[in-house]
Amino acid sequence: MCGIVGILGQGPVADRLLDGLKRLEYRGYDSAGICTVHDGEFDRRRAPGKLVNLAAELAAHPLPGTSGIAHTRWATHGAPTVDNAHPHIVGDVVLVHNGIIENFKPLRDELLAEGREFKSQTDTEVVAHLIDRELGKGFKPREAVANVLPRLHGAFALGVMFKSEPDLLIGARLGAPLTVGYGENENYLGSDALALAPLTQRIAYLEEGDWAVITRAAVQVYDRNNDPVKRPIVNSGASGQLMDKGNHRHFMQKEIYEQPVVVAQTLRSYLRPLEEQVALPDMEFDLGSVERVAIVACGTASYVGMIGKYWIEQLARVQVEVDVASEFRYRDPVLTPNMLGIVISQSGETADTLAALRHMKAAGLTTAGIINVPTSSMAREVDLLLPTHAGPEIGVASTKAFTCQLAVMAALAVNLARAKGKLSPEEERDIVHHLQEVPQAMSNALAHDGEIEAMAPKIAAARDVLYLGRGPDYPLALEGALKLKEISYIHAEGYASGEMKHGPIALIDDSVPLIVLAPSGPLFDKTVSNMQEAQARGAQVVLISDADGIAQAGENTIATIEMPKVHPLIAPLVYAVPVQLLAYHVAVFKGTDVDQPRNLAKSVTVE
């Protein structure tokens, strides 16, 4: 994670670097820093915590200079202190880094043995020392970087500048994204196109192992063998506008409220209303030949995968395996011909998911990606891109990306089912109608915001909260628990409702709220039996169901939230809304930082 920006400018760069960092703060906000080269010297400002602290530091002590690099940090090695904040300076070298240098310990030991002193606990400082050591041997800055890069193991992106050459910025990429931006007598480096959007739309994406030598006049990219290569300059299309919250108090709230619109937008590109059919973008393989599916993702996106398993197996009768990406590669999964590999990711940069994608490709699988950021590494590497049209998601807790991913997953399941000959035109038409109902049903669900806000203080007082669901609503229970814990810091777990009695029921007493997700339908009675088993032991139940469900089982609950009556297939999309709102209001009531919860970052580009 962490975000990098570098500018070789024609005028002062500090403000523009700070603006770039604002666009990258989603990648981490443990500390931030900027270093410029001015009158042959480095000048640096750093601050722990969020970017506002660095902005205050810059306001108090402005930073001159027309070239510089900047960084926002998600701490990996070393606490989020000023000393550990980037940029790191060693002699003539200043450096920013995103990712992890896995072999930093032996490198550090080697440097310590030579008498070098470290000012931070970071892995980053090791790289600055290594480059400085090469300079000391008489190598020029470019050669020094070229000599050091092969010694670094891990996944990282680097930005390096030199006191003696203020018109030189070097970027290197291995496993973490990095882009070069082309301006008018200026050039730039950034973790993504968004960071550079106000500076330029002309972007080149570095490829794995690439490093770029940037001056104001020219950019030369080299591959991992140090051979000069050309990487296409594309129009990023990224908006230079900073996102704003509109009338909402937090981005998360805004994004929850955007769901009827963005889900409709996403569905529009997958539904053909006249033909009453679902359609995917053109693809170069035959979906009908798919015999197995592997879905890989992290966190919230992995719950979309779990729901997808229910849908694909039920509709298409194709076997599906779902893995969290951090486990996938290392368990050496059995990947067979005619298997479709699917990755799901909002950012398209999550290191574990990207590594899993590459693993699947190396094993010869055809791959598809349900991805929100169309310029991301995953979007560029999958065989079939299935975009979500959620728009930028700024709140760290994923909300609208989740429901848009579900919408695309539903379209994929239906297409696969048709291609496998398991779905009649009538059945497909029915599903299209149900999917078309989703945006309105989500709006109806949002209308319960006030009731949910009113119950937040009760949940906020709890030490533990449990969520129950069955079938496709079981992964939604996991999502509910994740949402609550990440933004309110209350311990929460989700369970398949039938699993309750196999252990977790021991946790139940009258201080434990139990959030039950139970749309009426074939699984309702069974979920309600499990709920009653918990109620008999004092559980404080919040039942989220439709009018029929609440009429049947709403007694003895502390609260009910009435959802519109929807087909069980689309229930996870609609029931996601109260689950998100509940977490949101509990967090607001507790006064936590909803959009930037502690220890988290929006894009997780380390393993």
- Binding positions for ligand F6R, rule: CB under 6 A: 298-301, 345-347, 350, 353, 397-398, 482, 486, 603-604
**Helices and strands (H and E) in the chain: how many:** 19, 27
Token pair, residue 428, equals: 């497909």
> Helix, strand or coil for residue 346?
coil
Please state, in angstroms and rounded to a whole number, the distance separating the CA atoms of residues 592 and 372: 27
Shortest Cβ 603–ligand F6R spacing (Å): 6
Q: Are 191 and 98 in contact (CB under 8 A)?
A: yes
Residue with the CB atom nearest ligand F6R in the bound state: 299
CB atoms within 10 A of CB 232: 7
For residue 514, give Cα distances in angstroms to 138, 320, 491, 546, 562: 67, 30, 12, 17, 16
Please state, in angstroms and rounded to a whole number, the distance separating the CA atoms of residues 272 and 278: 6
Q: Are 574 and 464 in contact (CB under 8 A)?
A: no
Shortest Cβ 517–ligand F6R spacing (Å): 17
Pick the closer one to ligand F6R by CB: 266 or 346. Answer: 346
Pick the closer one to ligand F6R by CB: 188 or 584. Answer: 584
> Helix, strand or coil for residue 578?
helix
Shortest Cβ 270–ligand F6R spacing (Å): 19
Please state, in angstroms and rounded to a whole number, the distance separating the CA atoms of residues 255 and 248: 9
Active site residue 2: yes
Q: Which residue, 98, 110, 106, 56, is CA-closest to 74?
A: 98
Pick the closer one to ligand F6R by CB: 221 or 604. Answer: 604
Classify residue 516 as left (phi > 0), alpha (psi -120 to 50) or beta: beta
Token pair, residue 504, equals: 């977790």
Q: Are 408 and 370 in contact (CB under 8 A)?
A: yes
Token pair, residue 362, equals: 């190396």
Pick the closer one to ligand F6R by CB: 466 or 478. Answer: 478
Active site residue 50: no
Pick the closer one to ligand F6R by CB: 130 or 368. Answer: 368
Read off the DSSP letter of residue 94.
E
**DSSP element (H, E) containing 142:** helix 141-148
> Helix, strand or coil for residue 73?
strand
Shortest Cβ 246–ligand F6R spacing (Å): 21
Shortest Cβ 530–ligand F6R spacing (Å): 26
Residue in 2, 35, 298, 404 annotated catalytic: 2
Token pair, residue 354, equals: 């990207």
Pick the closer one to ligand F6R by CB: 169 or 356. Answer: 356
Shortest Cβ 591–ligand F6R spacing (Å): 19
Pick the closer one to ligand F6R by CB: 390 or 410. Answer: 390
Please state, in angstroms and rounded to a whole number, the distance separating the CA atoms of residues 540 and 560: 11
Residue in 309, 400, 483, 602 annotated catalytic: 602
Pick the closer one to ligand F6R by CB: 253 or 603. Answer: 603
Which class for 76: exposed (0-12), middle (13-18), buried (19 or more C-beta within 10 A)?
Answer: buried
Shortest Cβ 486–ligand F6R spacing (Å): 6
The DSSP bridge partners found for residue 518 are: none
Q: Are 385 and 379 in contact (CB under 8 A)?
A: yes
Shortest Cβ 69–ligand F6R spacing (Å): 25
Token pair, residue 368, equals: 């598809």
Q: Which residues are catalytic?
A: 2, 602
